[in-house]
Amino acid sequence: MTDDWAAQLRANREEKDRFFADHRQSPIPPEERDEFDGLNYFDPDPEYRVEATVTVHDDPDPVEMETSDGRTVRYLRVVTFAFELDGESRELCGYRQENDDSKALFVPFRDKTTGPQTYKGGRYMELEPDRDLEDGDQVTVDFNLAYSPFCAFSETFSCPLPPEENWLETTVEAGERTP
């Protein structure tokens, strides 16, 4: 199972690198694409695939997130994920924009790699449950899928910055490294 997971992760990374190198919607500025030879990643590490217990917020609180260009955007805190990482209990919140009816959850975060090893504004994960989550559900949070937002590659993009409640006091050496 671990080998299959790591092989799939590597294949997804290769596909993303091709998109960034060639696609017209790539965040890499067109004049820099010829020299782009792929994103930097931490090696796949199953230790950063954690089982998290879900707490659903039936009446989600609004959260104003600052963006990379100084604006703010409003999200709703819809779930909290509780998990063990590095031998300690941790939590991350999952968000949706107001009036978004999709099941996709936006999980921005910072950790002790933010700045020295990963994008200075933090990284993102997205979870797409196949059904509505309920209190006590178990989901896999895979930090190997953590990625840098488009604003890490070009100032033409405006990206939400992780709120302080999603700052992890640990090192997460998984996912994308500094572009």
Q: What is the pLDDT of residue 99?
A: 82
pLDDT attached to residue 151: 94
Arithmetic mean of pLDDT over the chain: 94
The DSSP 8-state label assigned to residue 156 in this structure reads T
Residue environment code for 20-41, b if the CB has 16+ CB neighbours within 10 A, otherwise e: bbeeeebbbeeeeeeebeebeb
Report the distance separating Cα 163 and Cα 111, nearest Å.
12
- Residue 2: the pLDDT is 63
Region 24-47 average pLDDT: 94
Give the up-direction half-sphere exposure of residue 157: CA atoms within 13 A in the CB hemisphere.
Answer: 16
Q: How far apart, in whole angstroms, are the C-alpha atoms of residue 111 and residue 92?
A: 11
Predicted confidence band of residue 130 (pLDDT cuts 50, 70, 90): confident
Token match 């107001």: residue? 98
| Averaged pLDDT for residues 121-146 | 95
3-state SS record for 68-134: CCCCEEEEEEEEEEEEEECCEEEEEEEEEECCCCCCCEEEEEECCCECCCECCCCEEEEECCCCCCC
Checking if the pLDDT of 5 tops 60, the result is yes
Spatial distance between the Cα atoms of 61 and 92, rounded to a whole number of angstroms = 15
Q: What mean pLDDT comes out for the span 40-44?
A: 96
Could you read off the pLDDT of 15-32 as tens digits, one per residue? 999 999 999 999 999 999
Which residues are within 8 A (CB) of 21 and not within 5 positions of it... i.e. 6 or more apart?
28, 33, 36, 37, 38
Place of tokens 């999709």: 102
pLDDT number for residue 83: 98
62 three-state secondary structure: strand
Tokens 């609004």 -> residue: 62
Q: Is the pLDDT of residue 1 over 60?
A: no
Q: What is the pLDDT of residue 3?
A: 73
d(CA 41, CA 25): 21
Question: What pLDDT, in 10s, does the model give residues 59-89?
Answer: 999 999 999 999 999 999 999 999 999 999 9
